[in-house]
Each structure stands twice: as structure tokens, then as C-alpha cells.
Chain A
Amino acid sequence: MISRRRFLIIAGSATGAVLLGSSQLEKALASARSESSDPSKPLWGMIVDVDQCTECMNQLVAETGNPDPKPECALACDRENNVPEFREKKWDPQWFKMLKVRSNLEGSEYLWVPLLCNHCRHAPCAQVCPTKATFVREDGIIMIDYHRCIGCRYCMIACPYNARNFNFKEPLDGLTEINPETDRRGHGVVEKCHFCVHRVDRAVKEGVNPTPACVEACQKEAEKRGFEKSALIFGNINDPNSEIGKIIRTSKAKQLRPSLGTEPKVYYVNL
């Protein structure tokens, strides 16, 4: 028999433990809610102005007569990162996709919206990866270690944005030129956009603002077409004085599938 005294001690400590545990849990849960921003610690992100993309793409469609042309930004991504081109679409890796989207009311106009890895703050892909081959860098870039990846594809299932591609085939088979600056990878692993991490690292070392290949191509294209501004802006979200930092702080930039709480660092305006 348990004496009353002992019972009280056990019950008391059990209650204490539950309270302590739940307060810890609450703290852990609450930490997901607020974000500190130290400008000296960069957190890289991107903003997409959907109006600009739509304008540019509409012109491109009119010029080429191709209803689904590959824009300069996507081509630049392919070249920069050795993303192969395969005719069979079910295997064709695309780090940067241009998608056609419209409101579901009949007669609505189409928008062109680029989709790339959102570099989620709470990245489902890194959450599920069994080997930590997918990992989060301190500056928020989500990376894949191709030497560690076992090709289980669980990350592709977990990614809410279809950002990842599996190498069904040897990438070399679909390449005409090779950029030696990007990591090589073979068939059987998963790959995706990494914000041109080699450019980011180089720029940081040189103390300048990094520009991923797509952003650079977008700027050139905007200039060529005489647009006032380009569609893609890249920069340090933590810095309230950076261009991207300012736009995000207007609270008008949106994230995709916000209800999941993945908190992407790719934002959209005019969507």
C-alpha cells in the first residue's frame, strides 16, 4: 500500500513535472513565433514582383509565339548551376520554373509566377531528411550535401512547393556546357535551387551584395526591355535598410502556403 504521504509526494512531483514539461514545451512552441533580426548576420531572401514577371513573359510569348517559353532568368539558372535539359518532362530537373496562374473566376487574366526553392525558415525538407544531407546554413540557405544524400526522395514529398528534383538520369547527359564553379552531382540524388551559394559566398568575401544568376539575368532583361524595375530582388532580410528588407517591412509581401508555417524567405508582391 502506498501511504498518503508518499502518494502526495508522488502526485505533487508528477504535477510539477507536467507543469515544467509543458512550460518547456510552450517555450519551444513560442520560439517559432517571433524572429530577431541582426543586420550583421545576413539572412538571404528574395522578392518576386509578379507584375513585372507577367509583363516580361507576355512580351516574350508575343515575340516568340511559344505559349510556354523559357525566360532568361530560368536559362541563366540552368547555365549557372549545370541544370540539365531533358526532353522527357517527367525527369527534367528545373530549379527555377515559370508558372501560369490565374484567379478561378472565368475570364481572368493569367499571371506568370516563378517558383523556386523558398528557403523556408522551418524547412520541411531538412526536417524529414534521414541523413541531414539537407541542411540549413547559418545564413538561411537550404543546402543539399550530394555526397551524403541517399536518394530516398522523402524531402521531395515533404516540400510543399515542388521545389526539388530527383536526378533520374545522369545530369551530364542533358548538358551542352559545364560551369566548373558549381558542385557536380550524379544520378540518384536530389537537387534544387541554392540561391547560387557560390556567388553568395564570393560576394560576402568581397564585401559586396550577392546577386544570384536569375536576378542578374532579370536585371539585364528589365534594362533591355526598358522596364523601370526588375522583378527579382535578392538581399539580406535582416537588414532593414536593404531593398528587400524595406519591402518586406511594408508587410505587403506574401509567402506561399503561409498556413503551413514553413515561413519561406521567398516573398511575392502583386500576387
Chain B
Amino acid sequence: MAELYFEKIKGDSKGYYALIIFLSLVTAWGFYGFWVMFTQGHETTGMTNQVIWGIPIVNVVYLIGASAGSLIVSALSGVFGKEEYKVFSRMAALMAALMIMGALLDIFLDLGKIEHGLNTTLYFNTTSIFSWNAFLYTSYFIISVIYLIAMFERKDKLVKGLAFLAVGWAVLVHSGTGGIIGFIYSMELWHSPLTAPLFIISAIASGIGLFIPTLVLTFKFTNKPLDENLIKSLAKIMGAMIIVLLYMFCVEIFTRGYVPANLEMLRMQLFDLNTPFPVAFWVLQITIGMLIPLAMLIFPPTFRSVTWISIAGLLHATGVWFERYILVLPGLAYPKEVFPPGYVMEHTPPFEYAAVYVPAWPEIALNIGTFALIFLLFIIGLKVFELLPKTELLEEVSE
């Protein structure tokens, strides 16, 4: 294969500027949402003393996942020596760095006392997985930036080494994030040794899911030919990961459900239609997020079309957002059973069964604004850095 050269995009079309303006406006709205939360306190959110984490944290978990997935995609060429994947490894690395930045931003902006935020770096608590993650996330961000720079400088050996390091680090980061949920033994719906591996698998799947449409659209708007087989091989990895995910959900639910004490909370999560959880789980996460994309990858007519594969990717990426939602919220909505089994507690609000949490607009703005910021910086990045392969070369390659 001929050596690849990369170029910037011109970025002077009307469409480009329109997109920049649109994304900036959404980002500004997100910032305004944050500002309201910051100045008026968390009373402007839908959270309560029972449901103490809301969708900003769901977003954090999601973005960390998608970032790790993106980085793994980017490192495929370095780690497995797959030259053909080099076409998008720069783009994917930038995406990874931007998404971890988005995640860090969301954690930070959701703090009650942002002014004290730097205390996490000043004081380290070795028994706190959160402390470890503060270290892991920032170092992960730095590694992905160095990796990106090494690619720009075409330091091939270094890139290869960093690719290994980055993948290893992504796995660490993800196990750490899994630990934030999985280590918590005060809630049965959180405590699970499967959370960390589940996180890694769905990170890869959702990273690819989000990356495929980004890749396809970027190449389309810049009029670059894209090798369909590349997309297909990525999609196959995603499909395999979805199957593993479905298997792991079954294992987790049945293992939990075997404990009589857990039946009631599982019933709430899976079947109580007075809560948003069954719809989020069965419809959005399982059906739309996993079964339909899987079917689209297995069914030959849809698998043949890059458009359909992109849609499958997008559906799955959305489904994984709801997977994170199901991971975080039902556990919080189910009251902690403080008294011995055999006792029933008359719950007083907000400590009650199926505690209500409706995200308020500042939280929603913060979430959407973060995505807008990520894509805004991404398209600016396309103009500033040499991220996309040179068109003529691609044509040569595909001939």
C-alpha cells in the first residue's frame, strides 16, 4: 500500500460555517444550563437526596466509554498492524481525546462545589476508586493527545508503542469507571463484578457505533472515497461485541434474580411500568440499541449498504446511552433497605420505592451541550489539523 498522506479540510463552504454556528449555539445553551446549576445550586436539577446522581453522570459514563472505544479503533492499525485502518486512526484519536474531555467537563460541572474541584488532585484517597479515576482520566487524556501528536509527526515507532499503551490505558480507565458503579455494595443493583468487563465491551461497541456515522459523514462531506470493506470490518467487530453484551446482561440479571431479596428491585427495573425503566431497558436499550442493529448487520441487504450500517451504528450508540442510564438510575431509585429482611419500612419521601427523577432542563442542556462542544471542536479540528487522508491517494488505493 502506498504511503498515506494527510491533509486539512478547506472549511470555507456555507455548510461548514452553518454547522459551526449551529453547534456553537447549542454549546452556549449547554453552558447556560450549567451556569444556572452553578449559580442557583442543584435545586434547579431533578435530583433528590435519594436519586443523587442524574443524567450528567450517565453522560460521563457514556462518553468515557465512547472515548475508549474510539481510541481502540484508532489503535487498531498500530496494535494489529492493519495498515488499511490508518485512514481513520487520526480522526478516531481526536474523537477519543475530545470525548474524554467532554466526560471530564461533565463530572466537573456536576460537582456541588466546583470551586473545591481541584482538591481531587491535591488529596489522594487510595481506597477511593474515584480518586484513582481522577488520575486515570487525566493521564488518559494526556496519553491520547501525545499519541495524536506522534501521528502528526509521523513517528511510526512511537505511534506503535503509544497505541499499545493507549489501549491498555483505555482498558484501565474503563475498569476504573466500571468500579465506580460495580464496587458500591450499598445497592444490589450496582454491586457486580461484571460491570468492568461489561463497560469495556460496550465501550468498544458504542465507540465504533458512534464512529462509523462520523466517519461516513465526514468523508461524504469532504468528497473522499471510503472503502466499504473498512466500514464493514468495523461493523463486524461491533456486532460481535453486541452479542457478548447480550450474553453478559443475561448472566447478570439471572445471577441477581436468583437471590430472593433482589426480586423486588429487579421487578421494578424490568417490569414496573410506573417507572421509566422497562421502556428504557426493553425498548431503547435491548430492542432499538442492540437487537435491531444486530439484525441489520446480519441481514445481507442492509449489511451491503454503508448508510444502513451507519444507522445501525447510531442506533447502537444511542442504545448504549440508555444502557448507562439503566446502570445508574434504577439502583438509585430503589430505596436502600436499611432494616433486616422481613421488616417493611414505611418509606418517607424522597426515600421511597421508585423514587421519581425527572431531569430538569439545565441537566439536559448540559448533556446536549457537551455533545455539541465535542463535535464543534471536531470539525474545527478537521480544519486545523491534518486528519483526513489525501483524496488522490485514496482513489489510487481504492483502484
Contact = CB atoms under 8 A, between A and B. Distances in A.
A229 interface: no
B183 to A, nearest CB: 8
A43 B343 CA distance: 30
A93 B350 CA distance: 11
A49 to B, nearest CB: 16
Interface string A142-175: 0000011111111011111110011111100000
Contacts of B187: 157
Given A90-B349, A104-B344, A128-B128, A150 B117 contact: yes
B387 to A, nearest CB: 35
B216 interface: no
Interface stretch (A19-27, A56-64, A130-138): A130-138
Contact of B339 (A124, A150, A167, A256): A256
A104 B128 contact: no
Interface in B103-133: 107, 111-114, 116-117, 119-120, 122-123, 125, 127-131
B131 A130 contact: yes
A166 B42 contact: yes
A130 B120 contact: yes
A187 interface: yes
A189 interface: yes
Contacts of B186: 124, 157-160, 260
Contact of A103 (B130, B185, B343): B343
Interface string B337-359: 11110111110111100000000
Q: Say which size band chain B's interface belongs to.
A: 35 or more
A50 to B, nearest CB: 10
Nearest to A260: B185
Interface stretch (B48-56, B76-84, B144-152): B48-56
Contacts of B112: 149-153, 166-167, 187-190
Interface stretch (A6-14, A73-81, A94-102, A196-204): A94-102
A169 B41 contact: yes
B64 to A, nearest CB: 15
A257 B111 contact: no
Specify the main secondary structure of chain A where it touches its partner.
loop
Contact of B52 (A115, A147, A153): A153
A115 B338 contact: yes
B215 interface: no
A103 B339 CA distance: 10
Contacts of A260: 185-186
A187 B41 contact: yes
B52 A256 contact: no
Nearest to A165: B49
B205 interface: no
Contacts of B125: 129-132
A148 B343 contact: no
B346 A91 contact: no
Nearest to B344: A104
A157 B111 contact: no
B184 interface: yes
Interface string B183-223: 11111001000000000000000000000000000000000
A68 interface: yes
B379 interface: no
A166 B49 contact: yes
A237 interface: no
Q: Say which size band chain A's interface belongs to.
A: 35 or more
A110 interface: yes
Contacts of B350: 89-90
Interface string A96-124: 01011111100000100101000000001
Contacts of A132: 123, 125
Contacts of B49: 90-93, 156, 162, 165-166, 168
Interface in B165-195: 180, 183-187, 190
A188 B113 contact: yes
Contact of B113 (A150, A160, A162, A254): A150
B12 interface: no
B50 A151 contact: no
Q: Which 6 A-B pairs have the closest CB atoms?
A: A151-B112, A188-B112, A90-B48, A160-B186, A130-B130, A100-B346
Interface of A: 68, 89-93, 97, 99-104, 110, 113, 115, 124, 127-133, 147-154, 156-162, 165-170, 187-190, 254, 256-257, 260, 271
Interface of B: 41-43, 47-50, 52-53, 107, 111-114, 116-117, 119-120, 122-123, 125, 127-131, 134, 180, 183-187, 190, 332, 335-340, 342-346, 348-351
10 contacts: A92-B49, A104-B343, A115-B338, A130-B128, A150-B117, A154-B180, A162-B335, A162-B338, A256-B338, A260-B186
